[in-house]
Amino acid sequence: MATEKIIEITDGVRAEKDGDALKITGPRGEVKRNFVHPRVKITVNSNIVIKSDSEGKADRAVINTWAAHMRNMMDGVTNGYKYILKIVYSHFPMTIELKGRVIELKNFLGGRGIRTARILGDTEVEIQKEEIIVSGINKEDAGQTAANIEQMCSDTGGKDIRVFHDGLYISSKGVRND
C-alpha cells in the first residue's frame, strides 16, 4: 500500500527537482527549498507527486505538510505575500529606520536603547508614515520578518499594556493583490 498526493502546477509556474531541492519559478522570481525524508519522495512531471510506500500517520502528515509548502511556494512566485504593520504610539513618538537588512526602533516607550529586527531572505520592507509594509515571494521569510518587527515591542518594561498600547502590530497579512 502507498500514499500519494498530486499537486497541480499553476499556470505560468515551472517546477524542477535538483537532488533533494525543489525549485519553483514564476513571474515574480524563484523559491528553492529542500525536502528530505527517508520514506517520502517527490517526482516532478506535469504535476508534482509526493509519494510514500507506507500509509502511516506520520508519513501522511509529512506529505500534507510538504503539499502545503509547495502550494505556498507557487502562490509566492505568482502573487507574492504582503504583511502590513501599524505603527501605534500615544505616549512617546517612535523612530523607525531601515539600515541595510536591519530595522532599528528608537525611543520605544521613552527608552534610550535601540531595538533591532533582521530582514530575512529576499524580503522587502518599506517604511511609510504610519505603517510598515513587508513583502516577498517566500511566505516563511516574509512572515518571520513581520514577526521579528512585531516582537521588537513585546517587552514593555513592566508597563501596563492596557494603558500603554505603543508598539508595532500586524494589521493585515496574506497574498498580494497588486
Q: Is the pLDDT of residue 176 over 80?
A: no
Is the same domain home to 88 and 51?
Answer: no
Range of the domain at 28: 3-78
Is the same domain home to 59 and 94?
Answer: no
CATH code: domain of residue 37: 3.90.930.12
All three cell numbers of 48: 508534482
Spatial distance between the Cα atoms of 41 and 53, rounded to a whole number of angstroms? 9
The percent of residues in the chain predicted with pLDDT above 70, rounded, is 98
Is the same domain home to 88 and 102?
Answer: yes
Spatial distance between the Cα atoms of 76 and 1, rounded to a whole number of angstroms? 34
Average pLDDT taken over every residue of the chain: 92
In this predicted structure, what is the pLDDT of residue 46? 93
Q: Of residues 158 and 14, which shows the higher confidence score?
A: 14
| Rounded mean pLDDT, 155-163 | 76
In this predicted structure, what is the pLDDT of residue 162? 74
Is the same domain home to 44 and 25?
Answer: yes
**Domain boundary residue, one of 35, 60, 78:** 78
- Which three-class secondary structure state does DSSP give residue 11? coil
Question: pLDDT tier at 8 (50, 70, 90 boundaries)?
Answer: very high
- Structurally, the chain folds into a number of domains equal to 2
Q: Mind giving me the DSSP string for 96-144?
A: EEEETTEEEEE-GGG--SEEEEEPPTT-EEEE-SSEEEEEES-HHHHHH
Is the same domain home to 14 and 86?
Answer: no
Is the same domain home to 125 and 47?
Answer: no
Q: Mind giving me the DSSP string for 36-105?
A: --SSEEEEESSEEEEEES---HHHHHHHHHHHHHHHHHHHHHHT-EEEEEEEE-SSS--EEEEETTEEEE
Beta carbons of 102 and 117 less than 8 angstroms apart? yes
In this predicted structure, what is the pLDDT of residue 164? 72
**Domain boundary residue, one of 78, 109, 142:** 78
Q: Which amino acid is at 57?
A: K
Q: Is the pLDDT of residue 178 over 70?
A: no
In this predicted structure, what is the pLDDT of residue 138? 96
- Count of beta carbons in the 10 Å neighbourhood of residue 163: 10
* pTM for the whole structure: 0.88
Is the same domain home to 50 and 130?
Answer: no
Question: pLDDT tier at 165 (50, 70, 90 boundaries)?
Answer: confident
| pLDDT tens-place string over residues 78-100 | 999 999 999 998 878 999 999 99
**Domain boundary residue, one of 78, 108, 136:** 78
